[in-house]
Chain A
Amino acid sequence: MKPADADQALEAVRWAISEETPLELVGSGTKRALGRPFQATHTLDLSGLTGVTLYEPEELVLSARAGTPLAELEALLAENRQQFAFEPTDFGPLLGGEAGRQTVGGVVSCNLAGPRRVKAGAVRDHFLGFQAVSGRGEAFKAGGRVVKNVTGYDLPKLVAGAYGTLTVLTEVTLKVLPAPEDTRTVLVRALDDADAIRVMALALQSPYEVAGAAHVPASLAGGLGVEELGGAAATAIRLEGFGPSIEYRAGKLRDLLGGFGTVEFLEREPSLAFWAALRDVKPFVAQPERLVWRLSVPPADGARVVADIKGRLPGSDAYFDWGGGLVWLAVDPGAEAAGQHAVRGAVGLGGGSGGGHATLIRAPDTVRASTDVFHPQPAPLAALSARVKETLDPKRIFNPGRMYAGV
């Protein structure tokens, strides 16, 4: 089913509810291979719901129908020297498809933010409001179009990152921000993981407004496809903003970090290429047989977690974003197909205020069917999540089981 507008989307959902038949919600389909495989006899293709419904650059706000290609919106924003500050990740090539095809609804639904997450927040932090169809067959709205709003529950937060299991988004409103005038990357070369974590922490603790902190070991540096990088490990600190400010901060960071290793700079173009490749997990695109995990951990734990996994899963490779807090990990398919016990054992289930979680991003259907793709939750939390699903989709119509069995 391919509705042409929100009314038709509502009709389609009502039909599915009356038939009690599950729907797979799809925009352009770039993230279809993400999550647990599930059975849906029908597809609700939302790519016909397109178009910008409101863009007021001076108000820093943009609304668009959910199926609008993100690339169109980014081009529109660029004309006004603005951007989505959360720097959306493009999983197209990583999951075997094309780049640049994802829709804004898909980006919001999966809450996948890029390197600027450390400074600007995730997609959910910029998601102001939506129009949607619930699994009760009702069109409803939540949130608003202004930045400061505490009127009622913050449903946009709930829907961001729900992977289409709670509602059919028909229109989304996002906060936009000015695009930086310029950008430059400070590189410290040839560090091991542990020292790199220290360097990134030092930079992020500084007052120099770091807009990205990543570490790529020598084994993966070449895979980024940035010629200027060469083959040594790169610990990268990104600066963005006004020209004089970048110049000043780059100098300060060189002084701050120089004791750890050789300091180099990546100027604008190679810097843009570096962070785009890092964001879209380029080092693992060319290794399609390997399974890819995404780990969110306390940043200072990054190196420890990866060392632990490498001890248990020889041959695995990892690089770090978010100052060490986001780990992109590739493992070879082995006896225990996804290596989930090794990965989750290293992250640690619950326990104290530290926490962390691991999501299996790329693996064959059979592996994703037999693995907990999303991090298992303690029983009370799992029960609460199931009750939340119930409130919006009691008949389990939308992407049932994509995140958790029964949800």
Chain B
Amino acid sequence: MKMPTPDASVLARRAEIVNALRAIVPGEGVIVERDEMRVYETDALTAYRQLPMVVVLPTTTEQVSQVLKYCNELGIKVVPRGAGTSLSGGALPLADGIILGLGKFNKILDIDYANRTVTAQPGVTNLGITTAVAHEGFYYAPDPSSQIACTIGGNIAENSGGVHCLKYGLTTNNVLGIEMVLMNGDIVRLGGKHLDSEGYDLLGIMTGSEGLLGVVTEVTVRILRKPETLRAVLIGFPSSETGGNCVAAIIAAGIIPGGMEMMDKPAIHAAEEFVHAGYPLDVEALLIVELDGPEAEVHHLIGEVEKIARDCGAVSVRVSESEDERMVFWAGRKAAFPAVGRISPDYLCMDGTIPRKQLPLVLNRMTEMSEKHGLRVANVFHAGDGNLHPLILYDANKPGELQAAEDFGADILKLCVEVGGVLTGEHGVGVEKRDLMIHQFTEIDLNQQQRLKCAFDPEGLLNPGKVFPQLHRCAEMGRMHIHRGQIPFPDLPRF
């Protein structure tokens, strides 16, 4: 993985830079010892590691502003970091850059039930927001599977989703406002507790911008009342085609489930051996459909889904009759990643989205690719929204297998684009899929996106080397006028 060439003149001034940063963030907020910086050398994409030049852990927005202003003036690169759970290398450090850790921004600032909002600092975990309002019967809908550890600031950087996002949307659909700091130190507020932010929708651009545009220092999200009832249906199919048809039939009936997840045979077997959820082992595809909402509605729709499933040729249909049983249905799906980890020394988790109807074609082509690359693949699939997670099994100790796995993964993502989908549904581009961007976008498309970065960060200092396959200087991109200028989480369930 080729990263931007370190700037020797910046590295030579490290001592001076450390002193300046210590003047801004006093006490233990500046970390310079190699051993202490070791925990920041990778995010959850542990294949890539790099020690930063220095780590800074500010505690106030004013400090963030001063740090960025200082770095902007001296041409020092900055990599913002939340909990470091990114799966695409979004928080991978740079040798000549600082890591700006937001971990100390960990307070909930305001809970407003009348407006149904929570305002929090960016280092609060996703689950922390729900925990803060659960006693009143509320929750925050986007539920990335790393929600116990990942932060709300990181969720904004990655536009995180989860099982619920077909019905309740991604981060971008649930964030109402942010305070952020631009690379030049300007502090800007976008949106608030009202529903539509004003002017250009910069909040929409910031969400999912992978830390390239600004540093978020405060977040306001909307919260929802917990549904009265949740029930799940476990449906086995003789083929992925019949499973896919059933998903389409459920949606055609006007039903948008709270969650709709599919697993293929290798994933079903791995999960069943791991958690003994009672999954049928003689099926080719297993679908979990969860319905949530008012009691009468869920009761009505469970019957509809059961009927649709049988009409689609399901070979087994089980409806959860208790909360315990519903949890058991999910246990295998939620443990699918660690379960697959038990049957292979290593695996690579891919993340592409396809139009749902292309699923049988994509699965068949994946089987062919599996033979070509000589590696097995297991599939878990957010069936509701077309987001695929092929798990490519390999052994890093066998020469050439990592490369084969990466080639296999790239082939899968290119296929996703070819059938009308995209390179990443929820994990982000980061460094992992950076060089594949040319398969989805033309050079003109990519230049247009990079120009947008110039509006926020003209010197290209914020998280360079991520998302875009080529670094451009803003000035060279069409006579642009510039105004003034590892902490891996191996035990987290991954969807």
Contact = CB atoms under 8 A, between A and B. Distances in A.
Interface of A: 56-61, 81, 111, 113, 117-118, 121-122, 124-125, 134, 136, 138-142, 144-158, 160-162, 166, 177-181, 201, 204-209, 241-242, 244-245, 247-249, 252, 296-300, 322, 325-326, 350, 352-357, 359, 374-375, 377-378, 380-381, 383-392, 394, 403-404
A118 B173 CA distance: 11
Contact of A148 (B115, B119, B387): B387
A148 B254 contact: no
A355 B255 contact: no
Interface of B: 109-110, 112-117, 119, 137-138, 158-159, 161, 165-166, 169-170, 172-173, 177, 179, 182, 186-205, 207-209, 218, 220, 225-228, 248, 251-256, 293-297, 299-301, 353-357, 382, 385-387, 420-429, 433, 437, 440-442, 444-446, 448-449, 451-456, 467, 478-481, 483
Contacts of A245: 293-294, 296-297, 300
Given A58-B252, A150-B424, A207-B226, A388 B452 contact: yes
B353 A178 contact: no
B451 to A, nearest CB: 4
A353 to B, nearest CB: 5
A140 B443 CA distance: 9
10 closest A-B pairs by beta carbon, nearest first, are A355-B192, A157-B204, A245-B297, A248-B296, A178-B254, A298-B193, A387-B455, A300-B114, A357-B198, A380-B186
Nearest to A245: B297
Given A297-B194, A299-B115, A380-B188, A148 B442 contact: no
Contacts of A248: 294-297
Given A124-B201, A353-B220, A390-B481, A380 B182 contact: yes
A357 B194 CA distance: 9
A59 B191 contact: no
Nearest to A58: B248
A281 B382 CA distance: 40
Contact of A140 (B179, B189, B299, B444): B444
A186 to B, nearest CB: 14
B198 A374 contact: yes
Contacts of B227: 207
B155 to A, nearest CB: 11
A322 B195 contact: yes
Contacts of B166: 147
Contacts of A162: 200-201
Contact of A153 (B173, B196, B440, B449): B449
Contacts of A209: 293-294, 297
Given A111-B201, A353-B110, A152 B429 contact: yes
A377 B117 CA distance: 23
Contacts of A113: 196
A211 B91 CA distance: 39
B169 A145 contact: no
A59 B356 contact: yes
A142 B442 CA distance: 10
Contacts of B481: 390, 394
Given A147-B386, A209-B293, A387-B483, A152 B449 contact: yes
Contacts of B109: 353
Contacts of B198: 296, 357, 359, 374-375, 377
B434 to A, nearest CB: 11
A355 B225 contact: no
Nearest to B255: A178
17 contacts: A113-B196, A124-B201, A124-B204, A134-B448, A140-B448, A149-B424, A152-B429, A153-B453, A155-B448, A158-B452, A178-B251, A178-B254, A201-B114, A207-B226, A242-B297, A298-B115, A378-B189
Contacts of A160: 201, 204
Given A57-B252, A58-B251, A355-B191, A158 B205 contact: yes
A125 B444 contact: no
Given A81-B254, A298-B193, A391-B452, A242 B355 contact: no
